[in-house]
């Protein structure tokens, strides 16, 4: 028996056959990723403009921003020097809260450093071509965020002159780090992630650096770009190797996107402390990291596309897609919060239940509700197309998410520690002046690096964006 409806079907389903079979355009056709029909040359011109501007003509906005960021970064290094001189005592950490802003800032920055590799590697494997407009600075952001993150475990060890003890280096004292410690796994996980992300970013940059090398006027710049372009000539063979390397690095980076924040979550989850020790931590931390990473990309890209004239390359579609990812990962984070709460009750364990009731209604309830409203409630506004395609709303929510994700780490770390098993040692932790200054200083370092990147390197992956233009498709215009 042959299905009836097939018999009745016309031979063709499509808008070329019959009037009554008009297919909805926006469903059939993929939206153009780049607006305004630019040529290959237009893309090069737009992206290289900033890097080719002589320093004397640099926009005043960039100069002011750079001056502020650099000052803050210098303050950061000054503070670090003072910390090493004076010791960890300058912070408010006190029994039982021995871990506070330092680890919070570390996890916060590592989390932000997730979007770049996710966009470049995971979205690449999923054939999400829209990523080409945002991958370059997302990767740059990743690298700078990981640099900021690495500072904190580096300085909070106290005796920084023996920081090499975290590495398993053979030594005459036969002293080894504890291989069962997740802090050591962190060293490997974040170190690997940083190395591979840097390689990935750099490999992607090579053809674009070569473009700059060929375009800049000053001899010094030519030499500088020339060194990093590694003799790129754009030959067929070069491209072949390049594509192969890119695919391999994407495949290698994908498990790293998951592993880094999973290992960071182990820092907490392997402990027996209620509020830290729960099995959903690894995937929940990964989702949270992607969530915060995309929020930070959004925070950076919304002003950048305006100031650098990239509105046709980073279009509303890109912004909307990123908002959708923020909605999805924000909801996954909400799911994890709900599971933690439900299982804390379901476990029948009074310490587990206490830890969560204390979070929501204890002395730090304010931070818990900041976290919930920023991370779970605010992204839900993106259910409405009107709101997720609004620049202002996107920017405001991205800031909310940044704040919320910082508070998430604060809630996890501090609320679980401040009321431990011994009520006589309970203590309300408050930071001293130095903690906020360290956080602000790390933002200074981050923006210093980011502004240098925006000024001297191509902020858009030109070669990749060109590959998604309609004229790059050899079949374009042929109706078969």
Which residues bind to other proteins, rule: CB under 8 A? Answer: 1-3, 5-6, 8-17, 20-21, 23-24, 27-30, 125, 127, 255, 258, 262, 266, 269-272, 277-283, 331, 335-336, 339-340, 343, 345-349, 383, 475-476, 479-480
Query: Rounded to whole angstroms, how far apart are CA atoms 201 and 146?
Result: 13
Structure tokens at 180: 């069962």
Cβ 474 to other proteins shortest distance, Å: 13
Residues 6+ apart with CB under 8 A from 30: none
Smallest distance, Å, CB 25 to other proteins? 9
Which value, to the nearest 10 degrees, does the dihedral of the CA atoms of residues 199, 308, 291, 118 take? -30
- Give me the least distance between CB of 9 and other proteins, in Å please: 6
As measured in angstroms, the least distance from the Cβ of 102 to other proteins is: 23
Q: Which is nearer to other proteins, 331 or 358 (CB)?
A: 331
- In the bound state with other proteins, the residue whose beta carbon lies nearer, of 143 and 327, is 327
Would you say 210 and 202 are in contact if contact means Cβ atoms under 8 Å apart? no
Q: Give CA–CA dist 302/44, Å, rounded.
A: 21
Nearest to other proteins of 341, 456 (CB atom): 341
All residues at 6 or more sequence positions from 77 whose CB lies less than 8 Å from its CB, including other chains: 441
Distances, alpha carbon 377 to alpha carbons 275, 333, 393, 401, 410, in Å: 21, 11, 14, 10, 18
Nearer to other proteins, 367 or 380 (CB): 380
Question: What is the closest distance, in whole angstroms, from the C-beta atom of residue 131 to other proteins in the complex?
Answer: 13
Q: Which tokens in the block code for residue 356?
A: 């969560």
The tokens for 255 are 């498990």
Find the shortest distance in angstroms from Cβ 331 to other proteins.
Answer: 7
How many whole angstroms separate alpha carbon 147 and alpha carbon 444?
12
For residue 93, the minimal CB distance to other proteins (Å) is: 24
Which residue's CB is nearer to other proteins, number 77 or number 421? 421
The residue behind tokens 């990964």 is 286
Q: Which residues contact 52 (CB under 8 A, 6 or more apart)?
A: 212, 215, 216, 217
What is the C-alpha to C-alpha distance for residues 435 and 437, in angstroms, rounded to an integer? 5
**Smallest distance from other proteins to CB 342, Å:** 8
Q: Which lies closer to other proteins via its Cβ, residue 17 or residue 159?
A: 17
Q: Given the complex with other proteins, which of 13 and 227 has the nearer CB atom?
A: 13
What is the DSSP secondary structure assignment for residue 97, as one 8-state letter?
A: B
Shorter beta-carbon distance to other proteins: residue 3 or 235: 3
Q: Where are the alpha helices (DSSP H) in 87-170?
A: 101-112, 115-117, 123-125, 135-155
| Best CA proximity match to 337, nearest among 389, 281, 293 | 281
Judged by beta carbon, residue 343 or residue 399, the one nearer other proteins is: 343
Residue 447 and residue 194: Cα distance in Å, rounded?
Answer: 18
- Work out how close the CB of 413 gets to other proteins at its nearest, in angstroms, rounded to a whole number: 17
């Amino acid at each position: 028996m042959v299905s009836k409806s097939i018999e009745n079907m016309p031979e063709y389903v499509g808008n070329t056959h019959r009037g009554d079979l008009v297919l909805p355009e926006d469903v059939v056709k993929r939206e153009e990723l780049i607006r305004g029909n630019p040529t290959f040359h237009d893309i090069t011109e737009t992206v290289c403009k900033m890097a080719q501007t002589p320093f004397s003509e640099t926009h005043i906005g960039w100069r002011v921003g750079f001056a502020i960021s650099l000052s803050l970064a210098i303050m950061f290094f000054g503070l670090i020097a003072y910390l090493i001189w004076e010791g960890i005592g300058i912070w408010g950490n006190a029994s039982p809260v021995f871990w506070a802003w330092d680890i919070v800032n570390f996890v916060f920055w590592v989390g932000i450093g997730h979007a770049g590799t996710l966009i470049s590697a995971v979205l690449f494997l999923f054939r999400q071509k829209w990523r080409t407009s945002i991958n370059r600075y997302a990767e740059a952001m990743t690298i700078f965020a990981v640099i900021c993150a690495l500072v904190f475990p580096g300085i909070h060890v106290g005796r920084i002159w023996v920081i090499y003890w975290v590495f398993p280096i053979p030594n005459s004292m036969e002293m080894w780090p504890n291989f069962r410690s997740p802090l050591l796994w962190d060293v490997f996980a974040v170190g690997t992630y940083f190395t591979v992300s840097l390689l990935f970013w750099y490999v992607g940059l090579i053809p674009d650096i070569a473009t700059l090398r060929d375009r800049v006027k000053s001899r010094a710049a030519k030499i500088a770009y020339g060194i990093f372009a590694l003799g790129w000539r754009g030959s067929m063979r070069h491209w072949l190797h390049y594509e192969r390397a890119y695919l391999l690095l994407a495949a290698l980076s994908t498990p790293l996107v998951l592993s880094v924040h999973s290992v960071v979550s182990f820092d907490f989850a392997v402990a027996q402390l209620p509020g830290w020790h729960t099995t959903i931590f690894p995937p929940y931390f990964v989702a949270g990291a992607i969530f915060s990473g995309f929020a930070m990309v959004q925070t950076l890209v919304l002003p950048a596309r305006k100031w650098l004239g990239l509105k046709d390359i980073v279009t509303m579609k890109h912004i909307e897609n990123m908002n959708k990812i923020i909605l999805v990962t924000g909801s996954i984070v909400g799911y994890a919060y709900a599971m933690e709460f439900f299982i804390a009750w379901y476990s029948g364990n009074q310490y587990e239940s206490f830890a969560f009731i204390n979070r929501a209604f204890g002395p730090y309830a304010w931070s818990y509700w900041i976290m919930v409203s920023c991370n779970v409630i605010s992204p839900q506004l993106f259910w409405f197309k009107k709101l997720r395609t609004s620049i202002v709303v996107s920017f405001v929510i991205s800031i909310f998410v940044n704040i919320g994700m910082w508070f998430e780490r604060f809630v996890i770390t501090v609320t679980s520690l401040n009321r431990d098993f011994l009520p006589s040692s309970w203590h309300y932790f408050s930071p001293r002046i130095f903690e906020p200054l360290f956080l602000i200083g790390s933002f200074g370092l981050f923006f210093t690096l980011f502004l240098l990147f925006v000024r001297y390197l191509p902020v858009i992956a030109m070669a990749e964006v060109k590959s998604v233009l309609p004229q790059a498709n050899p079949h374009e215009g042929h109706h078969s």
